[in-house]
Structure 1
């Protein structure tokens, strides 16, 4: 996805640069702030948005949501043609999928930005919001996608839960670049949510601890806390279960509308 990041402030610049350090993006910064090398200055966000709206597949604004809505409003045409638009506050607290969430990829882009910045992805697409399961995964280095897919599907089958209810796969940031895990997420067509190690270390949620995990990745556990921390109002349906070098835990989001 060709992506641009647009922001207005020194705080936004820091967030933008963090995103740029992890994914290929073009960077745009309001001319009131001195632009570092490689960053394009702009004067008015409405004019800039008009110029680049059809140039990129994804637009990430590190800016107030109201500003973003006003900038894109005159240009919105079709969910099948509009770029994916994500809005991220300068505190990197929430990454909101604003436009072209499902068809255009904004939901996936919001999760990708959240994984980089530590923000909470905010996705309101109905087909995604009704899914209530999160599968936490830990694995030894080098485990294949096939083995991980088998572990996930076997764990779900053991509880008679359909794959279609899974909203996210989740793991710790120490496993974020594990090739088999990334490929498994792609094969299952389920986004992979990456949880910051410090959130796991400081979490007060009850989950099982593992001396093996602590000795290898300096974390108390991976699959259970990842499943619990990747969603809201979560509770474990399946505690950590081992599948030949892969651990799987399943959490359910206890949403009021689904209770």
Structure 2
């Protein structure tokens, strides 16, 4: 976590010591004069430095007035999906204010943590939190789920203040439903946790878990375009969201296959390569091919590779093939918790 602290007075610098104890890897910036006393990073303009670090920080903690923080960050604010958590603490350490990115950025949780540790009062102003209702965006971040539509997420956050929202999940759930959610499979507006692109609700907020692992087999000199064609067709056929794909894998004979590497790079997916011995050691039912075994030493590359990279997960797509390319998809086990 990239935490940067900004202090503007002697009291602020003293309080920054306590905060640094909570985040040992954090950096603290203050005026050049105060830096000589406290050993922090000295800046001619602390606010200018804050602006410089805005897009590089995961959390920014200002010890001083809210107005100072607002003026420092205002030109750099973009949207809640990418802005860092911004916290403001008064010089006396009485209040810890979640100023920006309370949910997705984690400022609300961070403010509560700091307040508890320094004996202050957390100030949280987001509507769902102060009304004791479920916050979909912060929960999605906590469970590593991709929010597919911020507009729909805002609709959820607005409606959940006045009524319960139906919730459906294709993966395991732990914990009790929080205030604001009810189980449901249809309705006007709802939340759906799944790798699927189907819409159980008229207006569906998809929260996508990155749990799918794609095993790939291919002939020598197969192009990235050939792999991509079967890949996209398979995802479409099985209603699979592209954002649910976590990794690619194949046999080590393909570790230098240009088309496969180019495909992985285009989709920014990690790719693992396994030896025939590693793939043959897997137990289970696989679509066997004596032809493939004669060439690679293993009866099925794509299914075995997907199965291994998913840590022996469930098959979503069994071996499918086209133009010398084979694909299989497995899902690793995951649960989301309230």
Q: Give the TM-score normalised by the residue count of structure 2.
A: 0.39
- Tell me, in whole angstroms, the C-alpha distance in 1 between the residues paired with 2:310 and 2:331: 8
Q: Which residue of structure 2 lines up, in the alignment, with residue 209 of structure 1? A: 288
Using the alignment, how far apart are the partners of 1:191 and 1:176 within structure 2? 12
Aligned equivalent of 1:55:
none
- The 5 A counterparts of 1:10-159 are 80=56, 126=144, 130-159=209-238
- Give runs of ≥4 in structure 1 deviating > 2 Å: 73-81, 124-130
Instruction: After TM superposition, list the pairs within 5 Å mapping 1:156-175 onto structure 2.
Output: 156-175=235-254
Larger CA Rg, structure 1 vs 2: 2
Give the superposed CA RMSD.
2.8
The match for 2:268 among 171, 174, 189 is: 189
How far 1:158 sits from its partner (Å)? Answer: 0.7
Query: Relative to 1, partners in 2 of residues 1:231 and 1:76: Cα closer, same or farther, differing over 3 Å?
Result: farther
CA distance in 1, matches of 2:323, 2:210: 28
Determine if contact 2:143/2:336 at 8 Å carries over to the other structure.
Answer: no
Are the aligned partners of 1:205 and 1:225 in contact in 2 as well (CA < 8 Å)?
no
Q: What is the CA-CA distance between 1:75 and the residue it aligns to?
A: 5.4
Q: Is the CA contact (8 Å cut-off) linking 1:133 and 1:165 kept in structure 2?
A: yes
Question: Does the Cα contact within 8 Å between 1:227 and 1:249 map onto a contact in 2?
Answer: yes
> Contact conserved, 2:247 with 2:271, CA < 8 A, in 1?
yes
State how far apart, in whole Å, the 1-side matches of 2:270 and 2:241 are: 16
Q: Which runs of 5+ in 2 are unaligned?
A: 1-22, 28-52, 58-141, 147-207
RCO higher in structure (CA 8 A, sep ≥6): 1
Give distance in 1, aligned partners of 2:254 and 2:143.
Answer: 28
Partner of 2:324: 245
- Equivalent of residue 179 in structure 1, options 240, 254, 258: 258
Residue 39 of structure 2: aligned partner: none
Alignment partner of 1:199 is 2:278: yes
Between Structure 1 and Structure 2, how many residues are aligned? 145
SS of the residue aligned with 2:213? strand
1:220 and 2:299 correspond: yes
How many angstroms does 1:197 deviate by?
A: 2.2
Shift of 1:233: 4.5
Name the SS for the 1:160 alignment partner.
coil
CA separation in 2, counterparts of 1:155 and 1:243?
A: 10
Unaligned runs of 5+ in 1: 1-72, 82-123
Change (3 A) 1:136 1:76: farther
